[in-house]
Structure 1
Amino acid sequence: MFANVPHALSLRTRVLLVLTALLATLTPAAPAAAEAARASGSPHGAEVVAVTQVADRQVDLSVRSTALGGRTVKVRLLTPDGWNPDDRRRQHWPTLWLLHGCCGDYTSWTARTDVAETAALRDVLVVMPEAGWNGWYGDWWNHGEGGDPAWETFHTEELRHLLERDWGAGRDRVVAGLSMGGQGALLYAARHPGMFKATASYSGSAHPLLNDESVNRILGFFAGQDNDPLRVWGDPVAQRRIWKAHDPFHLAKRLRSIPVYLSCGDGTTGPLDAPGAVSALETDFNRQNHALAEELRRVGARHLTTNFYGPGTHVWAYWERELHASLPMLLGALKTDGARVK
């Protein structure tokens, strides 16, 4: 079960893994055992309460988050060769954050792509965090009250510090994502200067304020699962400042100094689609990505790569392909040459 975890683990981690395995055989009404499985508290408001080895090099962390109102969510790690979070040398690894899209979750990248079999990723720690069915990688406005969910705070503060302290994550990071996660990758890189050395967006929501169609479409996503759409960023007119602060187009100047990769289809049937497939969403996102690319060029972006590949809809086959196409840029920004970052 724990085939890829080194033998020389600390007592803390061995106890944690054994208890987690035992928990899987117990009924949900086992609070004492669950409490015993907690790794350690975090001064930044998050703690790991369970660890599960789900496959070779794949470890799921159950993380209880203050930013999410005390809820526990999952984070999947795709670990590099030789990874050992309890190595007394405190080895830290360059990190790729992979963000999922709307209606997906933290398992999406490993379930829908070959990311776990990609040889180029055996020297980096890949972080795939939960971001909510339609969380949109932000701290929700909640009619001026803030609070749960605060996905941006969870990811960029709580989870980042937790991974760097206890799970072998280094401070050299890049970020990529699809659709909602593509917007998240651009937002995190722009809103947290210096946190990520490069960013890639595949069919991302790159300019939600482009026009009324784009605004209405994202409000429709915000309303998913019977949610009040104004909880997320507020009203697009009354809270225009908040909307612009979460629109990559309006943050283009903050992206001009790092490598940026943008890709998108045009929504018509492409080579990786079923016959007759079309996607109005991809067509809208295509216009948004073209607008962002033009703005990045206008503000003097130094390292912009675009692949607007024409025919193609909003499906995983393209996103897997684009991940591979963008990896040289992403890993180049991490300066990975097979050497491990310490």
Structure 2
Amino acid sequence: MAGKNRARGGTTGRSGRRTRRGLAVLAAALVLPFAAAQVPAPAQPTAAAAPATIRNVVWHSDRHVEVWVNSPAMGAPIQVRLLLARDWNTQPNAKFPVLYMLDGLRATDDDSGWIKETGAVDFFADKNVTTVLPVGGQASFYSDWLQPNNGKNYKWETFLTKELPPLLESQWRATSTRGIAGLSMGGTAAMFLAARNPDFAKFAASYSGFLTTTSTGMPQAIQLAMADAGGFDAEAMWGPPGSPQWEEHDPLYLADRLKGKSLYISSGTGASGKHDEGSEIPGVSTNMFGTGLETLSLITSQNFIGKLHELHIPATVNYRSAGTHTWPYWDFEMRQSWAQAASALGVPAAKPACVSGGAIDVVVAGNGWLGDCLTGEYRVPGGLAQDFRHGRVFYTPEGGAHPVAGRIGGGYQAAAGPQGGLGLPVGGEAPLPDGRGRFQPFQQGALYWTPETGAQMVRGAILAEWGRQGFEGGPAKYPVGPEVKTPNRDGAVQSFEGGPFYFSPATGAHRVEGLILGKYAELGFENSWLGFPAAPEFPLKDLGRYSRFEGGNIYWSPLSGAWAVRNGPIMDVWRDAGFENGRLGFPISDEFAIPGGSQQNFQHGFITVRDNRAELHGL
């Protein structure tokens, strides 16, 4: 039940304050021994009928990835952050163990608390595991709920243990060796998920978790906390207190199922520590909510450890002499527990020794933000590379050494890095004149980035035509997606803020925009009789415009709208009549069938075709 630190603020409103005070008082009052009992082995969650699929991937850096997963169990896309293993780049065929890091009761839908509130990204940068950070799940206890509540259909246990692992193993080079750790609510879940799913995790850690859910007063404390965190009803989760589901998610009752696992349990005392703001009373923090919750965590953890001792199950225990229920202590425990997690997952706890030299060392010396090296130099197609805590440096004899990092580093990874279509960097990252974006040049193109569009690769004929139009300062503005192959014809398309560029070997690269693009889309893009665009868009009289395509043209004016005219008899007659400047004016329909032929209407008449012979009809 993660309490907010002071920087994030607290619940507002009288009822919110009453709930938090009530929970703090209840938590502080529950300083008494908790009874333990044995129950039959819990039922396992039912696997999803359909496999999960990846919906979208956003690269935040070369090893920090935002993955959106379509969850059949929850019926919604779920965000997962991945911090890829240290040797992800140096060993492209290797697979790596996985460490899940679960959030607390106040988990948000935008990002993991481990990323926002701790140094997890930097800490795991030199660890040879892939760290998995589920996003969302506020007040969920990462369990499968009995029924939807407050707009959520929580089936987190199925998602984490059944749907996500196959995707990680098939698409993100993960092994089946897993650990799981969590803070507060996530610490509770880490223990019962490891117990309920015996083959899921070799390591389980609870940082300030609540390691019983059914002992005296605990269901009420959980109910109050869930209501305070977001208006959730605990009975929708596990039914009324005393129902079997509460015991089936109680780490104390499930302790015997943790035999053979590497366990780490930690908690503070609730007394004011170095990360707390003290009150006028020595040892007492002004964070009463955090004090009460940490006291409750300590008592439940002690009872859980007592149960483990009865069962002769070893565990590492760290009871800190002070500290409330706040993020800095969980950041500390993440670091303290790493050596044990690394041992359980079969990876070294420390990074290997490494140094940089030559041209790469010169770049590192001038760019201290890169941090320490994580690997030695290694070969990539066309040159050398070396990984650092905050980026990579690439070297070619012709182009020298250049760093690639941050969102552009993520865009480079999304474009397959040195193995992809960009080649190696030939210059450093630089700001653009508009003050909005940044770019970096590569051997075969460039990467452009803005906060709104992300990092996108532009290359070849599309880059040349975009440049002719003024790059980001022209009408196309910035790219908003990657170049993709057109599915049914030999060509490619790339979306920009001002309209997409289409390319084919026969026509070159041309941009389509506005209402002409709308008509092109209506007819089926390049798969229609129009084919690929064959020329830029041109202005016409009366503010009109037109674009030429392989199979005809699209015309637009404010009075007539956008319509396509096919190459052939109708186009020939309209041309002979002077196009839009002649007696017919602009088209006001597409070509359509009539008995024995076809017809197309114009502002001042129409053209019919029968037996391949066209006739003009004026009004």
Instruction: Tell me the distance in 2 between the aligned counterparts of 1:272 and 1:44.
Output: 46
In structure 2, runs of 5+ residues without a counterpart are 1-47, 280-284, 353-619
Name the amino acid aligned to 1:61. V
Matches of residues 1-342 of structure 1 in structure 2 within 5 Å?
Answer: 44-69=50-75, 71-83=76-88, 89=93, 91-105=94-108, 106-118=111-123, 121-142=126-147, 148-212=153-217, 214-223=218-227, 224-237=229-242, 239=243, 241-276=244-279, 277=285, 278=288, 279-301=291-313, 303-337=314-348
Instruction: Tell me the distance in 1 between the aligned counterparts of 2:174 and 2:321.
Output: 37
CA offsets per residue over residues 212-252 of structure 1, 9 Å max, x none? 1x221101233342333310000112x1x110110100000
What is the TM-score when the length of structure 1 is the normalising length?
Answer: 0.79
The structure-2 alpha-carbon separation of the partners of 1:326 and 1:135, relative to structure 1 and needing over 3 Å to count, comes to same
SS in 1 for 2:333: helix
Structure index of larger Rg: 2
Is the 1:202–1:262 contact (alpha carbons within 8 Å) kept by the matching residues of 2? yes
Deviation at 1:104, TM superposition (A): 1.9
Instruction: Tell me the distance in 1 between the aligned counterparts of 2:303 and 2:292.
Output: 17
Deviation at 1:82, TM superposition (A): 3.8
Is the 2:82–2:132 contact (alpha carbons within 8 Å) kept by the matching residues of 1? yes
Deviation at 1:317, TM superposition (A): 0.8
Deviation at 1:162, TM superposition (A): 1.1
Instruction: Tell me the distance in 1 between the aligned counterparts of 2:320 and 2:95.
Output: 37
Deviation at 1:44, TM superposition (A): 4.7
Is the 1:48–1:61 contact (alpha carbons within 8 Å) kept by the matching residues of 2? yes
Name the amino acid aligned to 1:51. V
Is the 1:197–1:333 contact (alpha carbons within 8 Å) kept by the matching residues of 2? yes
Name the amino acid aligned to 2:302. H
The structure-2 alpha-carbon separation of the partners of 1:156 and 1:121, relative to structure 1 and needing over 3 Å to count, comes to farther
The structure-2 alpha-carbon separation of the partners of 1:113 and 1:226, relative to structure 1 and needing over 3 Å to count, comes to closer
Task: Flag the structure with more relative contact order, 1 or 2, with Cα contacts below 8 A and sequence separation at least 6.
Answer: 1
CA offsets per residue over residues 226-282 of structure 1, 9 Å max, x none? 333310000112x1x110110100000011321111001111211221223241111
Is the 1:49–1:63 contact (alpha carbons within 8 Å) kept by the matching residues of 2? yes
SS in 2 for 1:118: helix
Is the 1:175–1:196 contact (alpha carbons within 8 Å) kept by the matching residues of 2? yes
Deviation at 1:121, TM superposition (A): 4.5
Instruction: Tell me the distance in 2 between the aligned counterparts of 1:66 and 1:202.
Output: 30
User: Which one has a larger percent helix, Structure 1 or Structure 2?
Assistant: 1
Instruction: Give the CA RMSD over aligned residues.
Output: 2.2
Instruction: Tell me the distance in 1 between the aligned counterparts of 2:183 and 2:144.
Output: 19
CA offsets per residue over residues 168-225 of structure 1, 9 Å max, x none? 111111111100111111111111112111111000011122211x221101233342
Instruction: Tell me the distance in 2 between the aligned counterparts of 1:55 and 1:134.
Output: 30
Deviation at 1:122, TM superposition (A): 2.8
SS in 1 for 2:57: strand
Name the amino acid aligned to 1:136. F
Is the 1:131–1:151 contact (alpha carbons within 8 Å) kept by the matching residues of 2? no
Instruction: Tell me the distance in 1 between the aligned counterparts of 2:56 and 2:137.
Output: 19
CA offsets per residue over residues 306-334 of structure 1, 9 Å max, x none? 11112210011110111111111111001
Instruction: Tell me the distance in 2 between the aligned counterparts of 1:119 and 1:306.
Output: 22
**Count of residues in Structure 1 that have an aligned counterpart in Structure 2:** 287
In structure 1, runs of 5+ residues without a counterpart are 1-41
Is the 1:187–1:247 contact (alpha carbons within 8 Å) kept by the matching residues of 2? yes
Deviation at 1:108, TM superposition (A): 1.1
Deviation at 1:116, TM superposition (A): 1.5
Is the 1:205–1:289 contact (alpha carbons within 8 Å) kept by the matching residues of 2? yes
Is the 2:211–2:252 contact (alpha carbons within 8 Å) kept by the matching residues of 1? yes
Instruction: Tell me the distance in 2 between the aligned counterparts of 1:94 and 1:315.
Output: 28
SS in 2 for 1:76: strand
Name the amino acid aligned to 2:67. L
Is the 2:139–2:232 contact (alpha carbons within 8 Å) kept by the matching residues of 1? no
Instruction: Tell me the distance in 2 between the aligned counterparts of 1:140 and 1:318.
Output: 30
The structure-2 alpha-carbon separation of the partners of 1:51 and 1:119, relative to structure 1 and needing over 3 Å to count, comes to closer
Name the amino acid aligned to 2:271. T
Instruction: Tell me the distance in 1 between the aligned counterparts of 2:216 and 2:272.
Output: 24
SS in 1 for 2:253: helix
What is the TM-score when the length of structure 2 is the normalising length?
Answer: 0.44
Task: Identify the residue that residue 27 of structure 1 maps to in structure 2.
Answer: none
The structure-2 alpha-carbon separation of the partners of 1:103 and 1:312, relative to structure 1 and needing over 3 Å to count, comes to same
The structure-2 alpha-carbon separation of the partners of 1:136 and 1:59, relative to structure 1 and needing over 3 Å to count, comes to same
Instruction: Tell me the distance in 1 between the aligned counterparts of 2:126 and 2:102.
Output: 16
CA offsets per residue over residues 26-71 of structure 1, 9 Å max, x none? xxxxxxxxxxxxxxxx9853111111112352100011111112x1
